[in-house]
Structure 1
Amino acid sequence: MLVREVEMMVRPQARIRVRLADEVADVLREMIYSGALVPGEKLKQQRLSDELGVSRTPLREAFRMLEQEGLVRVDSRQGVRVIAGDTETLLQAYAVREVVDGLAARLAAEERTSEDVTELHEIVDQQRASIRPWRSERYTQLNVAFHARIMSASHNDFVVAQMPLLRLTARVFSPFALLEVGTAARAIEQHVQILAAIESGAPEEAEQAARSHIRATTDRLERIR
């Protein structure tokens, strides 16, 4: 049989399986981001298979996807667990965030559009509204949105591909960062500085401000440790 004929027979079924695994991964990812699955929690295949109404094959494929994103750890003896957000893990993640966020801000200052800048201003305004009265969940969502929008404004696909790291540190591990209104207010002012540098087209200043912003979090974690 010709290779092309074999491919035509296999591909439809493979596409269906991949799509199902993608859907399962999307559901599990959101459960982790929302806190329905907490850091360190063991993911029991039978229970999830029953709850999601899928077989174990797409579930295992979804686990592999999430493992590549750093959201779960797969161990042959201990099974699958949501990544644990201890301080040491956070420090390692933020070391990478400093580089990525700095590069994203630099590129955004070089490649920004008027739409990019307008949307970033809107997010900052909404962030200010989220601290009076203080709404930690709303602030966290907007914090992710601000940094994700800068990544998008970089117009660099490789930078945009790092968004899972952003969501991991800002949403999954956020309880371990001891977030409170004073910290959020200072972070917003740092966002204003980053945005000002991007808007004015100052790449070096934008990168410096973004890296300094992440280092402020790293410094707090160092003190906790």
Structure 2
Amino acid sequence: MKAKVARHHVRDEIQRRILSGESKAGERLSQQSLARELGVAQGTVRESLLELHWLGLVESVDHLGVFVDKLDASRICEAYQIREVLEGQAARLACGNAGRADIATLREMTETIFRLAQENKNTETASLDRAFHMKIIELSRNSILLRLSETYRVLGMMVRAFREPKVIYEEHLRIVEAIEHNFADEAERQARQHVVGARLMIEQQAREGKFVFSWAG
């Protein structure tokens, strides 16, 4: 297994365990144990943990080791605040890059997300919803923005901010229509409002004690 592939495999596996709750907050992650279990060198595990530290999933304590970091609604909302800015910028930049085929793809995804939501296929809905937003980020053609988005996208895998499917459908359509007509200001505004809506729902659920993590991996 090539070093880069091995590192990604190890990172993704540790990430899965954290986001699914298999590895709990405060749990110490032993590089030696993980290397033995996953069949890789300790250096590969160390590099993977460094990536996860950058993503905010683990914390390193001097002389003690690496531990699973605490993730709560407040932390998730911080990620959504960053997501609002970055996805607004992505939608703005996409206006100058999206072709007819791209718009057709986004429209098809919008319709399918709505249909899946109506059928209560939550896992499929969440997966395609992430793909929809990822498509817009990719259309920004900005490699740094793409890289920065990785942090909040990983944290977002823990959350299903349930809102009315019809509301989400209409918001998605407004974003796509603004991009299609090259209305950069409107595309950014709609994309930001869409993310704000999800964050406000999470904050409301947290206040009411109803917010729970649900890995949508």
Normalised TM-score (structure 2): 0.81
After TM superposition, give the deviation of residue 68 of structure 1 in Å. Answer: 1.6
Structure 2 CA distance for partners of 1:151 and 1:205, relative to 1, 3 Å: same
- Segments of 5+ residues of structure 2 without an aligned counterpart are 208-217
After TM superposition, give the deviation of residue 80 of structure 1 in Å. Answer: 3.0
Distance (whole Å) between structure 2 residues aligned to residue 43 and residue 206 of structure 1:
43
* Counterpart amino acid of residue 75 in structure 1: V
Question: Match for residue 216 of structure 1?
Answer: 197
Alignment of 1:55-74 (within 5 A): 55-74=41-60
Are 1:42 and 2:27 an aligned pair?
Answer: yes
- Contact 1:98–1:210 (CA under 8 A) maintained in structure 2: yes
Larger radius of gyration: 1
* Counterpart amino acid of residue 199 in structure 2: T
* Counterpart amino acid of residue 113 in structure 2: Q
After TM superposition, give the deviation of residue 137 of structure 1 in Å. Answer: 1.1
- Contact 2:138–2:146 (CA under 8 A) maintained in structure 1: yes
Query: More displaced, 37-46 or 128-137?
Result: 37-46
Are 1:201 and 2:182 an aligned pair?
Answer: yes
Structure 2 CA distance for partners of 1:146 and 1:24, relative to 1, 3 Å: same
Question: Match for residue 129 of structure 2?
Answer: 143
Query: More displaced, 149-158 or 77-86?
Result: 77-86
- Contact 1:42–1:79 (CA under 8 A) maintained in structure 2: no
After TM superposition, give the deviation of residue 126 of structure 1 in Å. Answer: 1.8
Are 1:118 and 2:104 an aligned pair?
Answer: yes
Distance (whole Å) between structure 2 residues aligned to residue 169 and residue 185 of structure 1:
25
* Counterpart amino acid of residue 90 in structure 2: A
Secondary structure class of the residue paired with 1:73: strand
Distance (whole Å) between structure 1 residues aligned to residue 24 and residue 174 of structure 2:
32
- Contact 2:118–2:165 (CA under 8 A) maintained in structure 1: no
* Counterpart amino acid of residue 158 in structure 1: I
- Segments of 5+ residues of structure 1 without an aligned counterpart are 1-15
* Counterpart amino acid of residue 183 in structure 2: A
Normalised TM-score (structure 1): 0.78
Distance (whole Å) between structure 1 residues aligned to residue 136 and residue 22 of structure 2:
28
After TM superposition, give the deviation of residue 41 of structure 1 in Å. Answer: 6.3
- Contact 2:76–2:156 (CA under 8 A) maintained in structure 1: no
* Residue among 2, 5, 10 paired with 1:24: 10
Structure 2 CA distance for partners of 1:118 and 1:40, relative to 1, 3 Å: farther
Higher helix share: 1
Structure 2 CA distance for partners of 1:157 and 1:134, relative to 1, 3 Å: same
Structure 2 CA distance for partners of 1:220 and 1:39, relative to 1, 3 Å: farther
Distance (whole Å) between structure 2 residues aligned to residue 27 and residue 92 of structure 1:
24
Distance (whole Å) between structure 2 residues aligned to residue 56 and residue 44 of structure 1:
12
Structure 2 CA distance for partners of 1:19 and 1:132, relative to 1, 3 Å: closer
After TM superposition, give the deviation of residue 30 of structure 1 in Å. Answer: 4.8
Question: Match for residue 105 of structure 1?
Answer: 91
Q: Across the two proteins, how many residue pairs are aligned to each other?
A: 205
* Residue among 130, 148, 159 paired with 1:162: 148
